[in-house]
Amino acid sequence: MTYSIATIPGDGIGVDVTAEAVKVLDAVLPGISWIEFDWSCEQYLRTGAMMPSDGPSQLAGFDAILLGAVGFPGVPDHISLWGLLIPLRRAFSQYVNLRPVRLLPGTRSALADRTAEDLDILIVRENSEGEYSEIGGIHNPGRAEEFVLQESVFTRVGCERIIRYGFERARERGGKLCSATKSNGLIHSMPYWDSVFERIAAEYPDVETRQMHVDALAAEIVLHPDRLDVIVASNLFGDILSDLAAAVTGGLGLAPSGNINPSREAPSMFEAVHGSAPDIAGQGIANPIAQILTGAMLLDHLGEHDAAAAVDRAVCEVLAEGSVRTPDLGGTNTTSEVGTAIAKRGAEIAPTG
């Protein structure tokens, strides 16, 4: 099959690492049609918008979207986030943010004496509602009575579908699911989340469940990551926990993610967890592995499982050999050199290679 994939390289190192991911995917699956969209903070500074008003409709016909990082000095983060990423997630009902976190071969965890067997966690984050809501505002601005109201939104549909998705993924993996909550502090939203989790758990008697307050769960990731398999969490909690887990396994430069529309009625969007790091952009030292592994997730979502496995294996082999690495992993190679090494290995492994 041939696929039409949109790329939005974005800002900073997003441009650098997306080029390498495209290189690797082309090596393992020739024939992909790539269309690039220059939507970024730089466009915002030129036009006052991160993307055109019809941006979602321009992307709707693609099989998938590969997104680089967005963010640039002079553009507030809430502008870049709410001007591009969140509108696309919601327009395409990408209500699952999937973040696999594992210790890769040849890399070291920030935790002493932990191995790859100890660090292999899948975080299923709700991606369309929860704490990331537009409802609220600043009232009485500039006065002594000034206050800010920020509302969270937890719908029955939203909670049920993400929790059920978490159970399905747990059933495919090790059969364990942990729910992140904070029902001892958030009097309405988290007890409701817990009740939905408990109700759906009854449908999956084969899955072992836990419910942990998010602060205790953060400690568990650090102290006992081997006890965790799949975590399901609300939007904010999932965001924080996935960054913590990625840092524990060696840094955000190794962490992929996907914004998934499980129904496949609209394109899913794939992006590395890390930011745009404008201070090192264009210097050829950014680690492209997170974006390359994100590309593997994209291929897997499209059903190209052999090609996805080839990318994953190529990354693992190059890392394990240790001769080609970017400076953040203790090496001296450039972004392009790492991407080329992985592309070459992937082409040798892939069925088409």
Determine whether 192 is an active site residue: no
Q: Which residues contact 258 (CB under 8 A, 6 or more apart)?
A: 96, 97, 98, 268, 269, 270, 271, 294, 297, 298, 301
What's the pLDDT score for residue 16? 96
- Give the residue from 179, 296, 153 showing the smallest Cα distance to 241: 179
What's the pLDDT score for residue 89? 94
Q: How far apart are CA 139 and CA 147, in angstroms?
A: 5
Catalytic residue among 38, 77, 215, 226: 215
DSSP character string of 70-118: --BTTB-HHHHIIIIIHHHHHHTT--EEEEEEEPPTT---SSTT--TTT
3-class DSSP state of 150: strand
- Degrees, nearest 5: CA angle 27-28-29: 100
pTM of the predicted model, to two decimals? 0.94
What's the pLDDT score for residue 40? 95
Q: Which residues contact 54 (CB under 8 A, 6 or more apart)?
A: none
From the CB of residue 353, how many other CB atoms can be counted at a distance below 10 Å?
15
What's the pLDDT score for residue 253? 82
Catalytic residue among 11, 182, 229, 312: 182
Q: Per-residue pLDDT tens, the chain, 353 aa: give them.
A: 799 999 999 999 999 999 999 999 999 999 999 999 999 999 999 999 999 999 999 999 999 999 999 999 889 988 998 999 999 999 999 999 999 999 999 998 989 889 999 999 999 999 999 998 889 999 999 999 999 999 999 999 999 999 999 999 999 998 999 999 999 999 999 999 999 999 999 999 999 999 999 999 999 999 999 999 999 999 999 999 999 999 998 877 899 999 999 999 999 999 998 989 999 999 999 999 999 999 999 999 999 999 999 999 999 999 999 999 999 999 999 999 999 999 999 999 998 54
What's the pLDDT score for residue 217? 98
Determine whether 182 is an active site residue: yes
Catalytic residue among 132, 204, 229, 300: 132
Query: Strands, E, within 146-185: which ranges?
Result: 147-150, 176-181
Structure tokens at 216: 């205790």
Determine whether 344 is an active site residue: no
From the CB of residue 329, how many other CB atoms can be counted at a distance below 10 Å?
21
- Give the residue from 334, 347, 309 showing the smallest Cα distance to 23: 347
What's the pLDDT score for residue 352? 59
What's the pLDDT score for residue 125? 97
Determine whether 239 is an active site residue: yes
Catalytic residue among 194, 243, 306, 328: 243
What's the pLDDT score for residue 351? 80
